[in-house]
């Protein structure tokens, strides 16, 4: 086993994970400190760096024509900025006492230790893949990485049948349902939850369910997959639940992810109840002066509930990386936490949420009013005004906004950002009713749907108080 452990006058930063959080951290640190002051070594076990997994559904669905468009910065570009990037190299052990990591070349199996002065853990998340018969059969695909996306596209190119089953109806599941529709497949979505999009309350999830059925997608809710049947050729043929079997020429998994923290756990680093690394506000791992962590492998503070949560989203991973890079590079930056904002779509249906659902609020002992309103994306008389449903939660007595969910057509989803800002600012729904939002008939009714919901919530709170 080789070593690259000799310390020189300059510091060495070692980064584990070459995507959003890891390479943002490396790039930001490099912006602040040149190669004379800081050596940066980044390990990535895959073939790609700085890629957008978020774009995979649109690449598979054909909206994005070329895989390379999803790559924000190539290995060559990183190396040109004096980042010693080691692709196809997996870190297999952290030795915190001696300040070094053990890495293995995935292709040759060769191992070596690399010492560090500062360490960034950005290992992301691991897709959940239940141990069921047939799960590894050809024709069954995850969509976590670009390699996964390519493998799925290769399967689609070879497959003559046109029946796809998507397992899971979170945002990745619904986005992949759209991708498969766009590829001309007959799509069935098998979902364990009561309704799709469990990040919404069930009454709002119901709207997604109905809209997806209206798009010709067969929705099977409240159903746990028990096995994947295969044909004589070993390829997947059907997805079975306790009550039924759904024929499948291809199966796409979107069941969710868990923090990839096996290395951190083995090294004794602090993990939270969701299995993610625990950091302070500078993204430094709690109790470890020279170790930072960010992205899908960490837990974050939910500013609305005050609880730690695991919210694996690229929007957070990129910010974490920037903040880590700033701190490692000698600056000062902090990550305050999140309010839980997310937006996605299935065909022309936009789905958005921020803050707490009813069950989240109850779990932390908050009492609230929940209101739901119907409105439109533009002035009612303006051509192509489309309907949307907005649900808002506000705390009893204080009137503080607690959460917002939107299901609608074009122009609905990004309205959630109004509520994300209001939540961050700790606004009451009463204060929101007079927010100075832009208005003209092509963009919204004179009372924006979010303000209509705020007015209704404020009236309820006053009535209840």
Q: Which of 70, 119, 143, 401 binds ligand FAD (CB under 6 A)?
A: 143
Tell me if 123 contacts ligand FAD by CB under 6 A. yes
Which one of 10-18, 133-141, 226-234, 379-387 is the stretch in contact with ligand FAD (CB under 6 A)? Answer: 10-18
Shortest distance, position 176 Cβ to ligand FAD, whole Å:
7
Shortest distance, position 220 Cβ to ligand FAD, whole Å:
21
Taking the least distance from each CB to ligand FAD, the nearer of 318 and 428 is 318
**Per-residue contact flags (x/-) with ligand FAD for residues 313 to 332, judged by CB under 6 A:** xxx-x---------------
Task: Give the integer Cα–Cα distance in Å for 214 and 225.
Answer: 24
Identified catalytic residue from 10, 32, 54, 226:
54
Pairing mode of beta strands 236-241, 225-230: antiparallel
Q: Which of 13, 56, 251, 326 binds ligand FAD (CB under 6 A)?
A: 56
Tell me if 293 contacts ligand FAD by CB under 6 A. no
Residue at token pair 């199966």: 251
Which one of 16-24, 63-71, 155-163, 333-341 is the stretch in contact with ligand FAD (CB under 6 A)? Answer: 16-24
Q: How far is CA 316 from the centre of its chain?
A: 8
* Residues binding ligand FAD: number (CB under 6 A): 33
Query: Tokens standing for 116?
Result: 């560090």
Tell me if 144 contacts ligand FAD by CB under 6 A. yes
Per-residue DSSP letter, 278: P
Identify which of 400, 388, 233, 213 has the alpha carbon closest to the alpha carbon of residue 306: 400
Q: How many CB atoms lie within 10 A of CB 154?
A: 11
Tell me if 212 contacts ligand FAD by CB under 6 A. no
- Cα separations in angstroms, 343 against 7, 220, 270, 350, 414: 46, 23, 31, 7, 7
Tell me if 420 contacts ligand FAD by CB under 6 A. no
- Cα separations in angstroms, 209 against 166, 271, 341: 14, 35, 21
Shortest distance, position 262 Cβ to ligand FAD, whole Å:
8
Please check whether residue 276 is in contact with residue 188, taking contact to mean a CB–CB distance below 8 angstroms: no
Taking the least distance from each CB to ligand FAD, the nearer of 90 and 299 is 90
**Per-residue contact flags (x/-) with ligand FAD for residues 155 to 194, judged by CB under 6 A:** -----------------x----------------------
Q: What is the DSSP string of 201-259?
A: -HHHHHHHHHHHHHTTPEEE-S--EEEEEE-TTS-EEEEEESS-EEE-SEEEE---EEE
Q: Which of 61, 259, 295, 340 binds ligand FAD (CB under 6 A)?
A: 295
Shortest distance, position 45 Cβ to ligand FAD, whole Å:
4
Per-residue DSSP letter, 393: E
Shortest distance, position 56 Cβ to ligand FAD, whole Å:
4
Q: How many CB atoms lie within 10 A of CB 287?
A: 11
Per-residue DSSP letter, 460: H
Q: Which of 43, 58, 292, 335 binds ligand FAD (CB under 6 A)?
A: 43
Q: Which of 45, 78, 237, 455 binds ligand FAD (CB under 6 A)?
A: 45
In sequence order, which residues have a C-beta less than 8 Å from that of residue 281 and are 6 or more positions away? 334, 335, 336
Taking the least distance from each CB to ligand FAD, the nearer of 294 and 329 is 294
Q: How many CB atoms lie within 10 A of CB 267?
A: 18
CA torsion angle 227 229 230 231 (round to 10): 170
Residues 345-374, interacting with ligand FAD (CB under 6 A): none
Which one of 68-76, 129-137, 312-320, 427-435 is the stretch in contact with ligand FAD (CB under 6 A)? Answer: 312-320
Q: Which of 5, 11, 31, 54 binds ligand FAD (CB under 6 A)?
A: 54
What percent helix, strand, coil does the chain show, rounded to 5?
Answer: 30, 30, 40
Check if 54 is active-site. Answer: yes
Taking the least distance from each CB to ligand FAD, the nearer of 166 and 366 is 166
CA torsion angle 325 331 336 341 (round to 10): -40
Shortest distance, position 248 Cβ to ligand FAD, whole Å:
19
Taking the least distance from each CB to ligand FAD, the nearer of 45 and 118 is 45
Tell me if 122 contacts ligand FAD by CB under 6 A. yes
- Cα separations in angstroms, 347 against 63, 174, 351: 12, 9, 11
Residue 285: strand pairing partners: 279
Shortest distance, position 434 Cβ to ligand FAD, whole Å:
31
Q: Which of 84, 249, 260, 299 binds ligand FAD (CB under 6 A)?
A: 260
Tell me if 50 contacts ligand FAD by CB under 6 A. no
Give catalytic residue positions: 54
Interface residues with ligand FAD (CB under 6 A)?
Answer: 16-22, 43-46, 53-54, 56-57, 90-91, 122-125, 143-144, 172, 260, 263, 295-296, 312-315, 317
């Amino acid at each position: 086993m080789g070593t690259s452990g000799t310390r020189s006058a300059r510091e060495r930063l070692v980064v584990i994970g070459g995507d959003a959080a890891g390479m943002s951290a490396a790039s930001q640190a490099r912006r602040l400190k040149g190669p004379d002051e800081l050596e940066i070594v980044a390990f990535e076990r895959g073939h790609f760096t700085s890629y957008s997994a978020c774009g995979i559904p649109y690449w598979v669905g054909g909206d994005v024509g070329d895989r390379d468009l999803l790559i924000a910065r190539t290995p060559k570009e990183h190396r040109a900025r004096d980042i010693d990037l080691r692709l196809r190299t997996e870190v297999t052990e952290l030795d915190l006492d001696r300040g070094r990591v053990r890495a293995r070349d995935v292709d040759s199996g060769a191992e070596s230790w690399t010492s560090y002065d500062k360490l960034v853990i950005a290992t992301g998340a691991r897709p959940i893949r239940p141990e069921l018969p047939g799960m590894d059969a050809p024709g069954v695909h995850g969509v976590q990485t670009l390699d996964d996306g390519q493998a799925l596209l290769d399967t689609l190119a070879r497959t003559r049948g046109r029946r796809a089953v998507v397992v899971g109806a979170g945002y990745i599941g619904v986005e992949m349902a759209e991708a498969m529709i766009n590829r001309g497949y007959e799509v069935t979505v098998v979902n364990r939850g009561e309704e799709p999009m469990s990040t919404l309350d069930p009454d709002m999830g119901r709207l997604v369910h109905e809209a997806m059925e209206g798009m010709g997608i067969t929705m099977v809710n409240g159903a746990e997959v028990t096995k994947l049947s295969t044909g004589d050729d070993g390829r997947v043929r059907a997805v079975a639940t306790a009550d039924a079997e759904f024929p499948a020429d291809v199966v796409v998994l979107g069941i969710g992810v868990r923090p990839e923290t096996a290395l951190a756990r083995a090294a004794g680093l602090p993990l939270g109840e969701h299995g993610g690394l625990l950091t302070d506000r500078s993204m430094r791992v709690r109790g470890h002066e020279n170790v930072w962590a960010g992205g899908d492998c960490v837990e974050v503070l939910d500013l609305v509930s005050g609880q730690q949560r695991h919210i694996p989203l690229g929007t957070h991973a990129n910010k974490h990386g920037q903040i880590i890079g700033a701190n490692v590079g000698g600056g000062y930056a902090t990550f305050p936490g999140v309010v839980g904002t997310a937006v996605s779509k299935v065909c022309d249906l936009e789905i958005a949420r921020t803050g707490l659902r009813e069950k989240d609020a109850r779990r932390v002992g908050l009492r609230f009013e929940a209101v739901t309103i119907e409105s439109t994306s533009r002035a009612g008389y303006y051509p192509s005004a489309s309907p949307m449903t907005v649900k808002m939660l506000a705390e009893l007595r204080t009137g503080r906004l607690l959460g917002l969910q939107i299901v609608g057509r074009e122009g609905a989803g990004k309205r959630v950002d109004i509520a994300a800002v209001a939540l961050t600012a700790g606004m009451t729904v009463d204060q929101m009713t007079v927010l100075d939002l832009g208005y003209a008939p092509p963009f919204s009714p004179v009372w924006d749907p979010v303000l209509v919901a705020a007015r209704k919530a404020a009236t309820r709170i006053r009535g209840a108080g």
